[in-house]
Amino acid sequence: MQHARWQSLAAALASTGATYAQSANSPPPDPVVHTECASSSLRLDGSLPSIASDPPAYRLLGARDAWTLASSLSMRQPDSPTNEPSPTSPTASGHSSSSDLAKKLQNPVADLISVPLQFNYDTGIGPKDADRLTLNIQPVIPFRLNEEWNLISRTIVPVIYQGSTASGLDSDFGLGDTVQSLFFSPKEPVDGWILGAGPVALLPTGTDPELRSEQFGLGPTAVALQQRHGWTYGGLANHIWGLHGSEQPDVNATFLQPFVSYTWPSATTLGLNAEATYDWTADELTLPFNLQLSQLASIGDQPVQFQIGGRYYADAPSGGPEWGLRFTITFLFPR
C-alpha cells in the first residue's frame, strides 16, 4: 500500500516535470510549479505524512526538482528482509553474550543470580596427613533497591567431611557455620571502580563440635574491582568478631581475597587469587593460592560454568593442609 502511494506521487511529479521537459532524456528547465504537500518535507522513514496530523503547506518546487524527485521515487523499491543476522541473534552475538556472562561471574557484586556449587579437596592435615572435603553452596542473589543501587546477597553454606587427623580421633561430617554477606553496590562504576560494601554475619549452623564455632559473629565487608579489556582485578575483604557466649575460642578473623583473571571472547577464564585468613585469637595465618580455569557452556537453555583448579598453601597453622584441588559448577539465571 505504501509503495503504491509512492508510485502515485512519483507519477504526478513526473507528469508535472514532463510539461517543461525539452527531451525524453534530459531534465526540464526550472520554472516554478505549485504543488500541495501534506508536509513541508518528506519523512526520513520513507512514509507519507498524515494530512490529519500534519496541516497542508504549500511548497514551491522547480520543474527540475520535480523531475529529479520523480525519477528517484519511481526507482524506489519496497524494503525486503535480508538474511543477515540481527545484532541480538545467536550467530551474531553468541560469543559476546557468553563472554559477558563469564565476565559477570568474576564480579562478586554483579547483577546476576547464580548458584555456585564449589567442591574443595584439601590434604596433608594433621599427623595422619588427613583429607578434608568441603562442598560450599554459594547462592548469589541481587535485589534492585532503586535506579542507582543494588543489594547483593552472598551466602556460603559449607558441607564438610574431615578425615581422622590423628590416632584416636574420629572423622567428622556435617554442616559448618554459614557466612552471610550483604553488599550495597552502586549500579554504575565510580571512577571506573565497581564497588560494594555492607555487613557480614557468621551464623552458627554447624552440626558437629569440630566443625562449628558455636557463636554468632558480625563485621564489615567490602569489595572493589575493575573490568577492562577482558581483565578483572580487585579484592574482597571482611572481618568478623564473635559475639561471645561460647565455650569455643572467640571468633576474631580477617579475610582478604585479592584476585585477577582474564576472560577470552570464547567465555574461557583463567584466574588467580589468594584466600588469606588471619585468626587474631590464635595468631595464625592460613594462605592458599588458587589457580583456576573456567569455561561457560549451556545445558539446553541453562547457562552453566565449569571450573577446575589447584591450590597451594603458602602458609597454614601447624598440622594445616598443604595443597588441594577445586571443582566448581555454577548455574546462572540471567535477567
User: For 76-106, how does the pLDDT look when each residue is reduced to its tens digit (9 = 90+)?
Assistant: 444 444 444 433 333 334 455 899 999 999 9
- Per-residue pLDDT at 97: 85
Q: 198 and 165 in one domain?
A: yes
Q: 63 and 193 in one domain?
A: no
The answer to whether residue 89 sits within a structural domain is no
Q: For 220-249, what is the mean pLDDT?
A: 92
Domain boundary among 17, 45, 74: 74
Identify whether the C-beta of residue 314 lies closer than 8 Å to the C-beta of residue 289: yes
Tell me the C-alpha distance between 78 and 5, whole Å.
Answer: 11
Q: 319 and 213 in one domain?
A: yes
The answer to whether residue 83 sits within a structural domain is no
Domain boundary among 11, 39, 74: 74
Please give the residue that has the higher pLDDT: either 225 or 208.
225
The answer to whether residue 305 sits within a structural domain is yes
pLDDT for 50 beyond 60: no
Pick from 282, 277, 273: which is nearest to 312 by CA? 273
The answer to whether residue 85 sits within a structural domain is no
pLDDT for 228 beyond 70: yes
Tell me the C-alpha distance between 72 and 66, whole Å.
Answer: 10
Q: 222 and 139 in one domain?
A: yes
- What mean pLDDT value characterizes the chain? 81
The grid coordinates listed for 210 are 569440630
Please give the residue that has the higher pLDDT: either 38 or 114.
114
- Per-residue pLDDT at 95: 52
pLDDT for 297 beyond 90: yes
What is the share, in percent, of the chain residues with pLDDT greater than 70? 71
- Per-residue pLDDT at 21: 44
Tell me the C-alpha distance between 276 and 241, whole Å.
Answer: 17
Please give the residue that has the higher pLDDT: either 141 or 16.
141
Please give the residue that has the higher pLDDT: either 234 or 44.
234
The CATH number of residue 190's host domain is 2.40.128.130
Q: 225 and 167 in one domain?
A: yes
The answer to whether residue 55 sits within a structural domain is yes
CA-CA distances (angstroms) from residue 53 to 39, 56, 63, 190? Answer: 10, 10, 28, 46
Domain boundary among 13, 43, 74: 74
The answer to whether residue 90 sits within a structural domain is no
Domain hosting 127: range is: 95-333
The answer to whether residue 34 sits within a structural domain is yes
Q: Of 245-249, 281-285, 300-304, where does mean pLDDT reach its minimum?
A: 245-249
* The total number of structural domains that make up the chain: 2
Q: For 46-68, what is the mean pLDDT?
A: 40
What is the rounded radius of gyration, in angstroms, for the C-alpha atoms of the chain?
A: 34
pLDDT for 25 beyond 70: no
- Per-residue pLDDT at 164: 93
- Per-residue pLDDT at 15: 54
